[in-house]
Amino acid sequence: MTEVLSHLREPVAKIMRKKLDKKNILFVCAGNTCRSVIAQALFQKLKEELCPELDYSADSAGIAVDHGISASNETIFCLAKQGIDVTTHQAKMVDARLLEKSSLILTMTNQQLNYLKDKFPHAKNKIFLFKPFSHQKKYMRNDEIEDPFGRGLSFYEDICQYLKQDIKKLIFHLREDFKYE
């Protein structure tokens, strides 16, 4: 009996530690100046408004980043209209350390999804395409979030609204899972 209990002690302790750890979502796009920044900022704001007890934080990064540049002016403007200040944001590149500390990695396009799964195979089980994941549907038409870079303010505002709707769905699904932890 003692042998059985000692055998179970380690996996149970590991599970308990995992439940106590704060979970982190990493939103990934190309340059980390538009979509992933908007998703991170909206997630943080909406999580606090809709489900403050949800123990998740958010971060963002890109796969083709000019390190240290700020969010695009259109991103800053769209988020300011939502009451969110991202003027201090500095773009950063996805790396192994960011993936390691993330419980969930959500990409905006299939290309980004495939790139990350190829480059970081050890993390492939926690990398998903954002839109289908937030809707909890395996296959969707129009399953990518288009890059608004260089496409004008009204396109940014549309992307911001789409992301806001999808973030609300994501929070709903995370909250449902949270109830059963």
Domain-by-domain residue ranges, the chain? 25-179
**String of b and e for 67-89 (b: at least 16 CB within 10 Å)?**
eeeebbebbbebbeeeebebeeb
Tokens read off for 81: 């209209």
Tokens encoding 4: 């059985």
Summarised one tens digit per residue, pLDDT across range 101-151 is 999 999 999 999 999 999 999 999 999 999 989 887 665 556 889 989 889
Calculate mean pLDDT across residues 17-45.
87
Let me know: does 118 contact 95? Beta carbons within 8 Å. Answer: no
Q: Are 134 and 12 in contact (CB under 8 A)?
A: no
25-179, CATH topology level: Rossmann fold (3.40.50)
**pTM of model > 0.95:** no
Structure tokens at 63: 């796969």
